[in-house]
Amino acid sequence: MAFNNRIKIKHLLETDSVGERVTVMGWVRTRRSNKHVTFIALNDGSCIQNYQIVADPAKIDDDTLKKANTGACLKITGAVVASQGAGQSSEIQADLVEILGEADPDKFPIQPKKHSLEFLRENAHLRIRTNTFGAIFRIRHHLAFAVHQYFHQKGFFYLHSPIITASDAEGAGETFQVTALDLKNPPRDQNNNIDFREDFFERATNLTVSGQLEGELAALALSEIYTFGPTFRAENSNTTRHLAEFWMIEPEMAFYDAEDNQNLAEDFLKYIIGFALENCQEDLAFLDKRAAEEEKNKKAEQRSELGLLERLELVTKNTFERITYSEALEILKNSKPNKKKKFAYPIEDWGTDLQSEHERFLVEKHFKKPVIITDYPKSIKSFYMKQNEDGKTVAAMDILFPGIGEIIGGSQREERLDKLTERMQELDISQEEMWWYLDTRRFGTTPHSGFGLGFERLVQFVTGMGNIRDVIPFPRTPGNAEF
């Protein structure tokens, strides 16, 4: 006989099962007892709610009930009856309680009380059993599903770009090396440098920072593709918005110019956030309350004017503001915080990159809605971006979100071979090594565009979590790869 004949708690709560005899399995959140009866709140992760189990000490032996501590895993069979208590319409009157896994109450770290996020990060293997993290990871699933659904419906193909590559697409030099060489005794060339020609791939390789370049190859064959995979950056940024391993969604489309690209990005974000609003109502309601509690602990000037759900609707219901980098710079130059020298990085000459304090000012204080900034100076953007007629700017776009700053980065691509090689020369990027990329411009080139959405920044925005480490199951950051 198969072991799993259980009913999920989500199903029990959604359907009228009164009168049926069912089996549920899950983990004890709390247990309350008196002489006559024991109440167990059981959670199986299928939804945020616990299910109430009523155990009569006359039917269930004392020893078993004593082991049903917070954290223990139970299998319970009994009749579903209408519930007397408030908050839940039914409960199970247990006639069989089996302890699947005990949990020593003195040692189990997750107690039925509020733990700090820092403490839970140190217990990332168990934090998934809390309401907050259960909600976050259910929402994360729904967002990933919505990404695939959106592109599938539009006829885009999911492309698996490689994880190990020999290129640094963004040219920022922040890659993790991949090698099978013996680090204690690596082969050396004439100049005493490590000789990667003797390595596994017969060249130096690294973990990918982006699937874009390979995505471009595929877009110039399949028209519209997207990648959705892990990317790796060895940037030493200890911020609330950076991970060393994060997931990125990178659509790439032939026959799209910069404006088509912006239209797609805006429509895409509205769709996936709308999908979460529709399909994750209970989890979002919980996180909305949680975020409101957190706000109370903040200083007045740091408090968000809107609640979590209101912020999500701000995105789905508003047209994003679209301005050029030069326009953004003018707004910032004349802004109050700049004049009062409140910015840590005062706005200076045209050409400097925007810092997250500037991005957040534009989104949260000035426009109060998402902003798409276009046409950045070419000197601060990657080699592959299409050069504008003015000779100074490129057809880039960054999408900025409240509380997050940059959530999407993208551009129209430089499809003209001469312009592209000229730029590569200026930036000292080897055309020899990138021959395969340049071939797309040699054979059947066409205008094309794409962008990258940082998946964790999206999950952060939707769940209202302040730290990106709390929206990925096992975060990788400088000094952290424990679990």
The one of ligand 4AD, Mg ion, none whose footprint includes residue 243, by CB under 5 to 8 A per kind, is ligand 4AD
Paired with 52 in beta bridges are 41
Query: In this complex, which beta carbon is closest to ligand 4AD, that of residue 312 or of residue 472?
Result: 472
Partner that binds at residue 165, options ligand 4AD, Mg ion, none, CB closer than 5 to 8 Å by kind: none
**Closest among 234, 170, 164 to 199, alpha carbons compared:** 164
Closest approach, Cβ 413 to ligand 4AD, in A, equals 8
Q: Which residues bind ligand 4AD (CB under 6 A)?
A: 169-170, 210, 212, 233, 235, 242-243, 246, 248, 250, 406-411, 450-452, 454, 456-457
Give the one entry of ligand 4AD, Mg ion, none that residue 410 binds, where binding means its C-beta sits below a cut-off of 5 to 8 angstroms depending on kind: ligand 4AD
Smallest distance, ligand 4AD to C-beta of residue 400, A: 9
Q: Cβ of residue 332: shortest distance to ligand 4AD, in angstroms?
A: 19
Pick from 118, 109, 126, 91: nearest CA to 17: 91
Q: How far is the CB of 362 from ligand 4AD (least distance, A)?
A: 15
CB of residue 442 to Mg ion, shortest distance in Å: 28
Q: Within 10 A of 281 (CB to CB), how many other CB atoms are there? A: 11
Contact track, Mg ion, 289-308, x by CB under 5 A: --------------------
Helices (H) and strands (E) in the chain, counts: 14, 16
In whole angstroms, give the CA distance from residue 49 to residue 9: 8
Strand partners, 127: none
* 409 contacts Mg ion (rule: CB under 5 A): yes
Q: Of 78 and 475, which has the nearer Cβ to ligand 4AD? A: 475
Distance CA 186, CA 323 (A): 51
Min. distance of Cβ 156 from ligand 4AD in angstroms?
A: 14
Spatial separation of the C-alpha atoms in residues 370 and 320, rounded to whole Å: 5
d(CA 344, CA 136): 33
DSSP code string of 99-161: EEE---TTT-S--SSPPPHHHHHHTTTTGGGSHHHHHHHHHHHHHHHHHHHHHHHTT-EE---
162 in Cβ contact with 214 (< 8 Å):
yes
Specify the residue, 46 or 477, whose C-beta has the smaller distance to ligand 4AD. Answer: 477
Q: Nearest approach, Cβ of 159 to ligand 4AD (angstroms)? A: 12
Beta-strand pair 177-178/321-324: unpaired
Stretch near Mg ion under the rule CB under 5 A, chosen from 6-14, 192-200, 322-330, 404-412: 404-412
Binder of residue 242, out of ligand 4AD, Mg ion, none (CB less than 5 to 8 A by kind): ligand 4AD
Closest by alpha carbon to 288, among 463, 47, 470? 463
Only one residue has tokens 């004593």, namely 66
Q: How far is the CB of 409 from Mg ion (least distance, A)?
A: 3
Contact status: 405 vs Mg ion (CB under 5 A): no
456 interacts with, out of Mg ion, ligand 4AD, none, CB within 5 to 8 A per kind = ligand 4AD
Select 178 or 253, whichever has its Cβ closest to ligand 4AD: 253
Q: Which of 405/409 has CB closer to Mg ion?
A: 409
Given Mg ion, ligand 4AD, none, residue 294, with its beta carbon under 5 to 8 Å by kind, binds none
Residue 457 interacts with, from ligand 4AD, Mg ion, none (CB under 5-8 Å by kind): ligand 4AD
- Strand extents, DSSP E, 337-461: 371-377, 393-401, 405-412, 448-454
For 35-69, b/e burial (b = at least 16 CB within 10 A) is eeebebbbbbebbbbbbbbbbeeeebeeebbebbb
* Residue number closest to Mg ion, CB atom: 409
Q: In angstroms, give the least distance from the CB of 75 to ligand 4AD.
A: 40
Pick 229 or 409: Cβ nearer Mg ion: 409
Nearest to 217 by CA among 443, 471, 14, 422: 443
Q: Which residues lie near Mg ion (CB under 5 A)?
A: 409
